Amino acid sequence: MLPTDQAGRPDEKTAYRAQLLYFAAPPGPDVDDGSTVYVPDGLLIVEHGRIVQLGDYAALSPGLEGLPVVDWRGKLIVPGFIDTHVHYPQTDIIASPAPGLLSWLDTYTFPAERRFEDPAYAADVARFFLDELLRSGTTTALVYCTVHPGSADAFFAESHARNVRMVAGKVLMDRNCPGYLQDTAESGARDSEALIQRWHGQGRQMYGLTPRFAPTSTPAQLALCGELAQRYPDVFIQSHVAENTQEVAWAMALFPGHRSYLDIYDQFGLLRPRAVYGHCIWLDEHDRRRMGEAGALAAHCPTSNLFLGSGLFDFAAAEASRMPVALASDVGGGTSLSMLQTMAAAHNVARMNGHHLSGHSLFYLATEGAARGLDLGGRIGTLAPGAEADFIVLDPQATPLLARRTARAESLEEVLFALIMLGDDRAVAAAYSAGRLLHARDGSPARGQ
């Protein structure tokens, strides 16, 4: 095999040598239960943007004479992370203090979102945001835009140019927000449908219908959104539910007669596979079961929930009622775009409820688990042959402290746990999307050996 640089040659068959890790099933309490595929000295073979083969270096290399090999020995290749709920227009107001969700929306969020009426500004933020996502190792995200259709066009144009797999949508909001951010039930549906036609299935782009949350939509808007959701069953739906107790009370007052906040979305046909609900803290047992029955996904946003004081997501209850869960940054309510930091916060929140999340299960939730929850299993979130070649290179020695801790790790679980608790974008040496290098921590790709 020929040594090559980290960029590989996206149109040519290329091999990557590193430790390889992905999940064939959800890890149970015993992390060595066969759910994990781990190859300590592996080769990952990529061609035309897809993974075509992987296995042990010693076993595979003799048959691959002449194949370029990118040398990432000492590092760990895992599937690119999936962030199931994030707001790109809130990039500039991350880390803005407020006593809680509703005042944070009024004080910081809505004025910040107003600026996206300018397409040039939207394009500038979209570029910065996508760079930051890739720096953090996130190769797929479910992204809220603003109410302006141009904010979605700007995002998709940037994401399409990078050929990254993204889901995004224009926010629908026809009441209870400043006039400068309001659409109408009809204009919101018309603009959403035009965006679906323009972007859904355009390269790797996918559309998400995005009613912000029930309090900012009239029943007429949710009804039209439900019709679109039915007409376009492979389009995603994203919204917020049961994040904050005041918000829950407000939603119930605005929509009398519903069994619960979640039931509002349910009655408008907005609970189905590919529907993703942010937060899901203040749900009851019935709601959690209903999420699972409907095939909807809960996006757990731990850094946001801690930052805004929204509450502690109950992992044990989610598991007991089989509610599908994945992880999300929820920036700008969330305080980091790093899914490693998000996993760390998820671990700590679960601990507060007496529940242990292993390093293995946290990595599962940010990769294979999210892909399954989004009905994208086998395409992303995995290194299994046939999948799209979205993968990242993690460096267990990225910082002096990480290097010191991982040097004495006695198991893969300890290495993963250290990466989660001590890692962030510094631990991401490189990110590849569809086989193309889109981020290298050390700048220009260095030569392999």
- CB 359, CB 369: distance < 8 Å: no
Q: Among 23, 57, 116, 213, indicate the residue that binds ligand GUN (CB under 6 A).
A: 213
List 17, 200, 204, 240, residue binding ligand GUN (CB under 6 A):
240
Q: Tally the C-alpha atoms within 13 A of residue 380's C-alpha that lie toward its C-beta.
A: 29
Which range in 101-109, 117-125, 222-230, 432-440 contacts ligand GUN by CB under 6 A? Answer: 101-109
CB 305 within 8 A of CB 255: no
Q: Which of 10, 278, 324, 369 binds Zn ion (CB under 5 A)?
A: 278
Q: Which residues of 16-39 are buried (b: 16+ CB within 10 A; e: fewer)?
A: bbbbbbbbeeebeeebeeebbbeb
Check residue 113 for interaction with Zn ion (CB under 5 A): no
| 258: three-class secondary structure by DSSP | coil
Q: Does 221 bind ligand GUN (CB under 6 A)?
A: no
**C-alpha dihedral sign at 236, 241, 243, 244:** positive
Angle between helices 119-135 and 149-162 (to 10 degrees): 40
Residue 373 binding ligand GUN, by CB under 6 A: no
C-alpha dihedral, 138 to 144 to 148 to 150, nearest 10° = 20
Contact criterion met (CB below 8 Å) for 358 and 13:
no
Indicate which single residue of 132, 153, 174, 330 sits in contact with ligand GUN (rule: CB under 6 A): 330
Of 172 and 398, nearer to ligand GUN (C-beta) is 172
Instruction: Indicate the residue among 88 and 315 with the shorter CB distance to Zn ion.
Output: 88
Q: Which one of ligand GUN, Zn ion, none interacts with residue 212, CB within 5 to 8 A by kind?
A: ligand GUN
Q: Count the helices and strands in the chain (H runs, E runs).
A: 17, 17
Is residue 274 involved in binding ligand GUN (CB under 6 A)?
Answer: no
How far is the CA of 234 from the CAs of 209, 231, 273, in angstroms? Answer: 11, 9, 8
Tell me the number of residues near ligand GUN by CB under 6 A.
Answer: 11
* C-alpha pair distances (Å), 56 with each of 45, 120, 299: 11, 48, 35
| Residue of 247, 330, 388, 424 interacting with Zn ion (CB under 5 A) | 330
DSSP bridge pairs for 297 = 276
CB of 173 to ligand GUN, least distance (A): 9
- Residue 278: CB minimum distance to ligand GUN, A: 7
- Side chain identity at residue 9, one-letter code: R
| Contact pattern from residue 227 through residue 266 relative to Zn ion, giving x for each residue in contact according to CB under 5 A and a dash for the rest | ----------------------------------------
Q: CB nearer to Zn ion: give 78 or 280.
A: 280
**Residue 303 makes contact with ligand GUN by CB under 6 A:** no
Q: Does 174 bind ligand GUN (CB under 6 A)?
A: no
Cβ atoms of residues 235 and 199 within 8 Å? no
10 binds, among ligand GUN, Zn ion, none (CB under 5 to 8 A by kind): none
State the binding partner of 109 from Zn ion, ligand GUN, none, CB within 5 to 8 A by kind: ligand GUN
Which residues here bind ligand GUN, judged by CB under 6 A? 87, 101, 105, 109, 212-213, 240, 243, 304, 330, 333
Which residues here bind Zn ion, judged by CB under 5 A? 278, 330
